[in-house]
Amino acid sequence: MKGKKLVIFDIDGTLIRALRPIDNLQRFRYSIQKIFKKDIGPITEERWHKGNYNGMGDRAILWVLVEPFGISRDMFLDQIGLFGDAFIEYLDSIAAAGPSYAVIPEAKTLIDRVIKAEHLSEGVLTGNLGQSARWKLHSVGLPDFAFGVYGHEADKREDLSKLLIPKATAYFGKAVRPRDIVVIGDTVNDIRCARVIGALVVIVNTGWRIDKETLIKAKPDLFVDTLLDERVLTLLGLEG
């Protein structure tokens, strides 16, 4: 991809905002109950933040929640596709009560500009399972990115990022250099993802209850309040 940059977006907190975060998080309880017949109890806001789940991949979160029940790792991984289906089933079931997510307008504008730019290519790196990632994007009118690395492929966000370059090289049919990758996210885990592969990282302050000072201390290449910040546009060659 010589001469082109690859812009990699996180989804939750970066492109979309949860309108009903606690309702949406019950997908973990629903799916575990459906697949393994185990009730982990309700996921409250306190439980979510105490578990430090923000920025973790869904596969990692699911494993933390099911392991205490004595479920083997192999059994868990064998069912990971069913978890994605169950997530969608749950999200569909609560749709009558109103939208679960909304697009962040500035993010939508940036995506549209990135897609139109000939010197840029785009994709996602997300902790969401593949099925639910696409559901979320579709639900707010965002495109289904043709290229992506998804949460069902690894537990740790750093391990997901290690898949990025080989997958992108295979997908685009050209070598992808770390210095040509820009990761855009909203959590410390997105910074770690970028650092593992030597990519640049932009952090936007639109995540759910994430401490701004913690993000700044993690030293992203850019920290912004909006993805239409002039520094982001300049980095991506979209100024003017």
Q: What share of the chain is helix, strand, coil (3-state, %, to 5)?
A: 50, 15, 35
User: Residue 55 — very low, low, confident or very high, per pLDDT cuts 50/70/90?
Assistant: confident
Structure tokens at 216: 């700044």
Looking at residue 54, its pLDDT comes to 81
The chain-wide mean pLDDT, for the chain, equals 94
Q: Which residues pair with 182 in a beta bridge?
A: 7, 200
Provide the 3-class DSSP secondary structure of residue 201.
strand
- pTM assigned to the model: 0.93
Q: Is the dihedral of CA 221, 226, 227, 228 positive or negative?
A: negative
pLDDT for 213 equals 93
pLDDT digits (tens, 9 = 90+) for 124-178: 999 999 999 999 999 999 988 989 999 999 999 899 999 999 999 999 999 999 9
Per-residue pLDDT of 68-118, as tens digits, reads 999 999 999 999 999 999 999 999 999 989 999 999 999 999 999 999 999
